[in-house]
Amino acid sequence: MACYSSQQLVEMGFARVGQNPRISTKASFYGVERIELGDNVRIDDFCTLSAGAGGIKLGNCIHIALYSSIVGAGRVELGDYANISGRVSIYSSSDDYSGEWMTNPMVPDEFTNVTHAPINIGKHCIIGAGAVVLPGVDLGDGAAVGALSLVNKSLAEWQIYAGQPAKRIKSRSKNAIKLQEKLELHVENS
């Protein structure tokens, strides 16, 4: 995967560029001045990040796999060690589907009824391939979402969810916290 250098990302105008970015040259970015990249962020080929007024903030040690997208006017934050699998769609804005309003960005605002709401994806979250996350949800630290799930409500921390809409399946181990501590100690002593 061909990646931008840190200097190229800075020149593109990102709000913040952390250390050791691995950002594909085949990814697309809109509103870069509202996108913050933490340390050790990897964004794979054919991803799209489109930051509206709320912006996008990626923590440290984040991976966003190929063909995924983060789009909308609401703020989107990903906590440290979050992992977004391939073809995940995260929307902080959504059209009104009732038929009472028109839809699509080419229609003037007074004829639409778009919902904008922030999304917070906590530390150590994992979102499985093809899942969709809708505006206004919080994924608690360690929440895991199965492939092809629809997340339309907030999810509790350290639980596993799957389905359309996503429902709790079972609890998730918190061993990732211990491994994070070991990793950070290892990095500190290197």
Euclidean distance between CA atoms 128 and 163, whole angstroms: 11
Residue pLDDT, tens place only, 37-49: 999 999 999 999 9
- Residue 9 region, left (φ>0) first, then alpha (ψ -120 to 50), else beta? alpha
CATH number of the domain encompassing residue 44: 2.160.10.10
pLDDT greater than 90 at residue 161: yes
Percent of the chain with pLDDT over 90: 96
Two tokens at 38? 């933490």
> Domain residues for 38?
6-189
CA distances from 105 to 33, 73, 136, 145, 155 (A): 21, 12, 20, 29, 29
Q: Residues near 46 by Cβ (< 8 Å), separated by ≥ 6?
A: 24, 26, 27, 28, 66, 67
Domain count, the chain: 1
List, in sequence order, every residue forming a beta bridge with 13; answer none if it has no partner: none
pLDDT greater than 90 at residue 168: yes
**Is 64 part of a structural domain of the chain?**
yes
User: Global pTM?
Assistant: 0.96
Euclidean distance between CA atoms 110 and 149, whole angstroms: 32
Euclidean distance between CA atoms 39 and 69, whole angstroms: 20
β-pair type (115-116, 93-94) = antiparallel
pLDDT greater than 90 at residue 188: no
* Total residues belonging to the chain: 190
**Is 1 part of a structural domain of the chain?**
no
**Is 20 part of a structural domain of the chain?**
yes
Residue located via tokens 């593109």: 12
Q: Which of 51, 59, 131, 148 is nearest to 90 (CA)?
A: 131
pLDDT greater than 90 at residue 61: yes
Euclidean distance between CA atoms 108 and 144, whole angstroms: 38
Residue pLDDT, tens place only, 119-154: 999 999 999 999 999 999 999 999 999 999 999 999
Residue pLDDT, tens place only, 94-113: 999 999 999 999 999 999 99
